[in-house]
Structure 1
Amino acid sequence: MEMKYVGKILQERPRKRWEEQIIESVQARGEERWKERIDNRNLTLNMDNAALCVSQFADGKWKPRDKSSFSLARNSLDTAATLIQRQTYAELIDFDNHLDDISQDWRNPSLNLEVDEEAGTVG
């Protein structure tokens, strides 16, 4: 199950009731709960550190995972830096854009293809 939220600042976001309901639903099915976030403060043209923050829900709390417990693809940081430099993020269609104009695809197939091509994972 995937859920996305984009906030302006990582610390500004209190957990919402709908998020709690989703967590409870996943818990009832016995699935592991993970949360991945992008810390925009670490998104730079010179990507030295991963902006990915991974947390696991355990004992009723979100606990950050040690960065050594997961890995990124070899060229992830270079790919992210290149896409930021190109300002590819300006092409991102979120669900609100889709609701304003349903002809816009919030799943971003062309943007996903561009990311895959830059990362060298297709063609």
Structure 2
Amino acid sequence: MLGKSHGGKLTITSVVPLVHESAPLSPSIEIALALVSSKDDQSIVGIYYSNASYQDKSFNPYSIRLAEKIAAVTGQSTYLAQVVNWHLTADCSSPCISVYQQQDSGSWKDIKVDVDPVALTLVSSALQKKLYRELVDFENHLDNPELDFYNSSLNRMLREEL
């Protein structure tokens, strides 16, 4: 997740999907993080993930390790956003993420999320049009370097939905 954290408020401006496996190789993640952090002068503020199981809302150990690594590199508190699978519906009437902030104790605290209603409408439309099929992550890019893991064409399609 890219964005900024100021005065206790987190603003996520963009996301870049990195992996679709639960425990990818560390060197590829480090390369991806370096590429993402250098793009458009944006800051990495955390990660997002979704568990493979529809009903699973537990913390993913790999995601926590990755978020902790980002915090160690950036020196900033890191955020962990979990996609709540059962909220991803065609009408998408409620936020489909839970966001947690790492505390000094190392524990993760659930934080309040304000989601713009336009974002919910956009998610709903994207799901109905199956735009998720266009999503490319960094692992896909490593398999085929012609694939754009920044998802420029998908972002254009989403902007057209607005």
- Bucket of the pairwise TM-score, normalised by the shorter protein: 0.7 to 0.9
Q: CA deviation at 1:33?
A: 1.4
The 10-residue stretch of structure 1 (26-35 or 47-56) with the greater mean CA deviation from structure 2: 26-35
Contact 1:27 1:33 in 2 (8 A): no
Is the alpha carbon distance of 1:15 and 1:64 closer, same or farther for their aligned partners in structure 2, counting shifts above 3 Å?
A: same
Contact 1:26 1:33 in 2 (8 A): yes
2:144 is aligned to 101
Residue pairs, 1:15-54, within 5 angstroms: 15-16=61-62, 19-20=64-65, 22-24=67-69, 26-27=71-72, 29-54=74-99
Is the alpha carbon distance of 1:112 and 1:62 closer, same or farther for their aligned partners in structure 2, counting shifts above 3 Å?
A: same
Q: 1:70 aligns with which of 108, 113, 120?
A: 113
Aligned partners of 2:90 and 2:153: how far apart in 1?
Answer: 22
Contact 2:83 2:97 in 1 (8 A): yes
1:116 is aligned to 159
Which sections of structure 2, spanning at least 5 residues, go unmatched? 1-43
Is the alpha carbon distance of 1:84 and 1:34 closer, same or farther for their aligned partners in structure 2, counting shifts above 3 Å?
A: same
Aligned partners of 2:138 and 2:132: how far apart in 1?
Answer: 15
Structure having the larger proportion of residues in strand: 2
- Counterpart of 1:88 in structure 2: which amino acid? L
Contact 2:90 2:128 in 1 (8 A): yes
Q: Which has the higher contact order (CA 8 A, sep 6+)?
A: 2
Equivalenced residue count is 115
Provide TM-score, normalisation by structure 2.
Answer: 0.60
Q: CA deviation at 1:13?
A: 5.7
Q: CA deviation at 1:74?
A: 2.7
Contact 2:67 2:78 in 1 (8 A): no
Query: Match of 2:117, SS?
Result: coil
Is the alpha carbon distance of 1:45 and 1:32 closer, same or farther for their aligned partners in structure 2, counting shifts above 3 Å?
A: same
Max radius of gyration: which structure? Answer: 1
- Counterpart of 1:8 in structure 2: which amino acid? A
Aligned partners of 1:96 and 1:14: how far apart in 2?
Answer: 19
Identical counterparts, % of pairs: 24
Q: Structure 1 residue 8 and structure 2 residue 52: aligned?
A: yes
Query: Match of 2:51, SS?
Result: coil
Provide TM-score, normalisation by structure 1.
Answer: 0.77
